[in-house]
A and B are shown apart, each in its own frame.
Chain A
Amino acid sequence: MAAVAHSVPYSIDARARDLIPKSKVLLVGAGGIGCEVLKNLALSGFRDIEIIDLDTIDVSNLNRQFLFRKEHVGKPKAVVARESILAHNPNVKIKAYHDSILSSDYGLNFFKRFNLVLNALDNRTARNHVNRMCLAADIPLIESGTSGYSGQVELIKKGATQCYECQPKPPQKTFPGCTIRNTPSEPVHCIVWSKHLFNQLFGEDDPDQDVSPDAEDPEAKINGENSVTESGNIKRLSTKQWTQDIEYDPEKLFNKFFSEDINYLLSMENLWKTRTPPKPLSWKDAAALVGDKTKKDENSVRVRDMEVWSIAKCAQVFADSVTTLKKEHANKDFLVWDKDDQPAMDFVAACANIRAYIFSIAQKSKFEIKSIAGNIIPAIATANAMIAGLVVLYAFRLLVEDYEKCPSIYLRQKSVHSKFILAADKQLTKANPVCYVCSPKPFVNVFVNVDKMTVKEFESEVLKNHLNMVAPDVVLDGKGVMVISSEEGETEVNNDKALSQLSIVDGSILKCDDFLQNYELTVAVNQYVPVEKDDPLFKVVANPEELKAKETQNGKENGATSSKDAESDEDDLMVVDEVAEDPQEGSSSKRRKLNNDSDDEDIVEVPL
């Protein structure tokens, strides 16, 4: 068909022109970058495309995910993206999956059907998984991501480049429990505390999210003794019960959390020797703090969301949101905090500002608090368009195996100090020879307390959460004993046993095999006992040399206080950290990883 030939661009490699209509491409993600990539593929003459995305469309996507419109809100992204392209050009074959790429339905044989895989993802877990699948299937992968004005495109090809997991990613930012509970010094500490308070009052019980004063704070101790006798932990157990007993009376709640608990903190005198002590605030006093009384248009977005509320307004919003949430809670076992749920967001904004006031910390607008609490990464159409354009330009080159011509490219915010907007590396980045994913014999050291950690925790926290395996089988080397099986009903009996009970001790070697990822990892077990309160529960190190360096910094990679609730919903990209190299462009490195395990952000994570 002449029309088809026309749509393959001139001015590119002639061999690529021939291959484009015959190639099969997998696009993982139909968000900000995904929509743009799909359009570029279809208009460049690709005729066989599959696209997969788990998400549905949200209003806040519409400023950049141009294949979607208001009437599509709530519908699956992959399905609507496909329909939108077919309406333009029915000659393209597109298969859409509204599903998770992590599902076992998409195994090695699924991946091997493609000539190319293009990632347009928003989270590290899926990126890690697709990385492993493409390494195992030996299919070239283009990884991409954006964050605000910045972005990145990177080729991953077995044997030619580093893989997505070759360099350890910076850990999520977490805060010590005592900072959150006793001595906040930044707005984010108050915001994390407020989300924890929400969960204490309305959410699922999580002992890691205590909000009451922490009498175990090492700083509060005098000569190793507690300066106060009452233990904060005893109170904690009864918080929710007490709240229900007082029927969520806003005034009583307010006085407890913002007056009584603060007085208790003041009694821990050691804490305030070098800090400004907090000022307890009663419900009655708060009502008097009305701030600037000039008349304002309460309906305008600027006034309602963009300006900092007076403390009296915070108290009122606190009371109103508690009343609303109490009603919602009555019909459910527990509520899950969501930044887009207005009373839940109001509650956190109000509490965070009241606590900030008490601790003499700058207060923020609801709009700003939402960014931090919801881990929102700004996303714009133009950055996604540029990155998606580069993704498809590299796709042309990969069809003819021109890998050397595909070094990483970075999109940077223009500054007066730099002339480059799109800057490429000089050459491909070689693989890390001790990468625990792509080296010939993947190997890591795990440091863990073998007498405390259970087999189940080892599987979920170490193998799945940290090492990103999906369905591992684990055998204790030398003994041939199956410790963990991906088949149901085989090893559940081990779940609650400590590792040492199964003879997994210092020096043991575990052979871990993920069939889906076609990935085998050897784990050397090292006994390690956390000493300080905020030490991580475990550490994972590919190269023991690395560990020495890390220990001198701090050991907060895992297990420190962090709320697990905040999944960022951003579908766009994530940015890789190399973007932040140019010190003039500090804003591109402003990550909000703050308080959660959300995997969005970062490094090379790109939004869809």
Chain B
Amino acid sequence: MTEQQLSTVEAELYDRQIRLWGIKSQERLRAANILLIGVRGLGSEIAKNIMLSGINSLVILDDGEVTEEEPQTNFLINQDSIGMKIADAVLVKAQALNPLVKVSADTSDLATKDPKFFEGFTMIIATRIKTDLLMKIDKVCRANNVKLIFGDVFGSFGYSVSDFQEHDYYEDQLRLVSKKRVLDATETKPEKETVNVKGQIVYPELNKVLILPNTKQSVDHIKKVKRRNEYFFLMLILLEFRNRQNRNPDIEHKEKDIALLQDIKIAVLDLYGFDHNKLNDVLFELVFGEVVPVCAVLGGVIAQEVIKAVSQKEVPINNVFLFDPVTFCGKEETVA
């Protein structure tokens, strides 16, 4: 899809964001075709934000069914859709967010997808995905220049991990310049000017970032990460939990799940040589369910990274974002 000029209707609708990121960025968004994997609490927040931003098309892939609880925490799903496929159930409300975006549902199982399926997108966003599938998709993305971001919310904790490969971007920087003209004595402050600066970030592939116990991944890289933030390890522990259990920690089996998380913690921290005391087990109390306002925060962060990746405007996160469930701070962690 080539970039096309915006219509008057689009210029009016997107006015307040064009004033921030410029018309060129908006034209790039307008040409972007996005795949979103998983449309639960976090996924629906991401879907909302990128629909509003004005992309060309969105495919929502999720093979789950709407349970009784789902409508309580997912604003794209109505009460009357219980039993439907989630991807189908969110379509109407997702489309209503922005009639200019082509949105469609895919209810098939991600694991059965042909690699060719992933090639045609500008960008892929994955949530609630096991790491083996994620690594496969990352390989396809790298071979086809498709950008990838994945993320999750576990309770009050959340993160994202990006692979934008070799990413060129532009940012506006304010610089001080000396004034050319002599002005009155009262106006001696230097003038500021906005300059457009180009930058590049080279992202590591995901199998160098997410190294878990008992995998064949190279451990050469991990020696460097001893001083990492404890939440980086919390992320790995939760990913390993999902890989093993094929689900997220569940409040219905709280004690059992916390015991398993403690086991996994030991395996992960030993692999990295990280002090066990630096990751307090109390954190495991905070990882159940998907806290809606945390989904809102992560959905905002991830959608903004999608907008940056597609528009090539502004400095993206390189490459892990970790949301602190205690202080609510959010920080970039550069891994590998």
Contacts and interface: CB of A to CB of B under 8 A. Distances in A.
Given A69-B96, A381-B48, A419 B331 contact: yes
B37 interface: no
A414 interface: yes
B317 A40 contact: no
Contacts of B290: 9
Interface string B1-42: 000011110111111110110010000000000000000000
A33 B102 CA distance: 26
A390 B300 CA distance: 11
B297 to A, nearest CB: 4
Q: How large is the interface on B (under 10, 10 to 19, 20 to 34, 35 or more residues)?
A: 35 or more
B307 interface: yes
A185 B184 CA distance: 10
A301 B291 contact: no
B330 A422 contact: yes
Interface string A239-278: 0000000000000000000000000000000000011100
A59 interface: yes
A422 B297 contact: yes
A409 interface: yes
- The residue among B12, B69, B304, B316 with the most chain A CB atoms within 10 A of its own CB is B304
A590 B193 CA distance: 11
Given A66-B52, A416-B315, A423-B329, A386 B73 contact: no
B75 A39 contact: yes
A385 interface: yes
A230 B161 CA distance: 70
Interface string B316-327: 110001010101
A421 B315 CA distance: 12
Nearest to B308: A414
A6 B16 contact: no
Interface stretch (B55-63, B123-131, B263-271, B281-289): B281-289
A382 B49 contact: yes
A43 B292 contact: yes
B16 A379 contact: yes
Contact of A301 (B23, B73, B300): B23
A301 B5 contact: yes
A3 to B, nearest CB: 6
Nearest to A185: B183
B97 interface: yes
Contacts of A4: 72
A110 interface: no
A63 B54 contact: yes
Contact of A148 (B20, B79, B96): B20
A274 B182 contact: yes
B53 A10 contact: no
A389 B46 CA distance: 13
Contacts of A379: 16-17, 20
Given A89-B71, A301-B8, A422-B330, A378 B19 contact: yes
Interface string A274-309: 111000000000000000000000001110011000
Contact of A424 (B5, B13, B328): B328
A381 B52 contact: yes
Given A3-B72, A43-B72, A301-B5, A414 B315 contact: yes
Contact of A3 (B15, B54, B68, B99): B68
Nearest to B17: A380
Contact of B331 (A7, A10, A421): A421
Contact of B289 (A9, A378, A392): A9
A275 B184 CA distance: 9
A488 B43 CA distance: 57
A386 B296 contact: yes
Nearest to A386: B300
A552 interface: no
Given A385-B49, A414-B332, A185 B181 contact: yes
A385 B296 contact: yes
- The residue among B184, B297, B317 with the most chain A CB atoms within 10 A of its own CB is B297
Interface string B196-223: 0001000000000000000000000000
A388 B96 contact: no
A103 interface: no
Interface in A51-79: 59-60, 62-64, 66, 69-70
B312 interface: no
B6 A59 contact: no
A409 B172 CA distance: 24
B328 to A, nearest CB: 6
Nearest to A7: B72
B288 A11 contact: yes
Interface in B153-197: 155-156, 171-174, 181-184, 186-187, 192, 194
A304 to B, nearest CB: 8
Contacts of B182: 274-275
A38 to B, nearest CB: 10
Contact of B300 (A3, A275, A382): A382
A261 to B, nearest CB: 21
A43 B251 CA distance: 18
B330 A70 contact: no
A27 to B, nearest CB: 14
Interface string A334-370: 0000000000000000000000000000000001000
A413 interface: yes
A60 B296 contact: no
Interface in A376-421: 376, 378-386, 388-393, 409, 413-416, 419-421
Given A274-B182, A386-B300, A422 B329 contact: yes
B187 A185 contact: yes
B11 A40 contact: no
B273 interface: no
Nearest to A90: B79
B297 A390 contact: yes
Given A422-B323, A587-B174, A66 B48 contact: yes
A382 B75 contact: no
Contacts of B5: 300-302
Interface in A553-605: 554, 570, 586-587, 590
A231 interface: no
Interface string B60-94: 00000000110111110011000000000000000
B303 interface: yes
A477 interface: no
Closest 4 CB pairs of A and B: A11-B155, A389-B296, A422-B330, A385-B300
19 contacts: A9-B156, A11-B287, A39-B75, A60-B16, A63-B16, A63-B17, A63-B52, A63-B53, A66-B97, A148-B20, A183-B184, A302-B5, A380-B53, A382-B300, A414-B332, A416-B199, A421-B321, A422-B328, A422-B331
Given A66-B97, A380-B304, A386-B296, 17 more contacts: A6-B69, A9-B156, A43-B73, A60-B16, A275-B182, A300-B5, A367-B19, A376-B19, A378-B16, A382-B304, A382-B307, A391-B293, A393-B294, A414-B314, A414-B315, A419-B333, A554-B186
